[in-house]
Amino acid sequence: MVIKYNGYFYLYEKKRLEKAAIVFLNYFKIRKDINFHLASIGKEQISKENMMAFNKNEVTDVVTLPIYSDFKELCSEKNTDGFSGDILIHRPEIRKNALAYSKTIIEELELVVIHGMLHLFGFTHKNEKILTNHQNKIMNKVWHES
């Protein structure tokens, strides 16, 4: 698993995120080398990306831009370089959500990245129950078992 960072990320954040990503891959029993870009971007850019991707004119904590439509396609021979897409985050929204949900900023960052990875692997809000179930199980492992 390779996460290519763009923007500022502290070393301890990178270590925690890489550990969370490994938990994610193990949860789905993925052995293929998978990589993605993780970018920390500003208010205007996250709003613009949210509008372009989802036609929503609002600031959000995360926008995920997958390359493949589903898990099977991502892990297929079609994906020769392992690249899965981009996860764009907006730190002020992550901080705001961490405070609102009584989490640390790093816990909220881990949650947002796992949520983004689920989207990269084809899980969508069209089936919220499945998305949330996987997210909760993975986060339990990230926060309590790793």
Residue type, 67: I
Q: What is the pLDDT of residue 139?
A: 98
**C-alpha distance across the termini of the chain, in Å:** 16
Mean pLDDT by 10 residues, the chain (146 residues): 92 96 92 88 96 94 92 84 94 97 97 96 93 98 88
Q: What is the pLDDT of residue 113?
A: 98
Residue 81 CB-density burial (10 A; 0-12 exposed, 13-18 middle, 19+ buried): exposed
| Spatial contact of 142 and 20, defined as CB atoms under 8 Å apart | yes
Q: What is the pLDDT of residue 71?
A: 83
**Check whether domain 2-144 has CATH 3.40.390.30, yes or no:** yes
Give 127's DSSP letter. Answer: G
Tell me which H or E stretch contains 3. strand 2-6
Residue type, 11: L
CA distances from 86 to 35, 98, 102, 118 (A): 9, 22, 27, 12
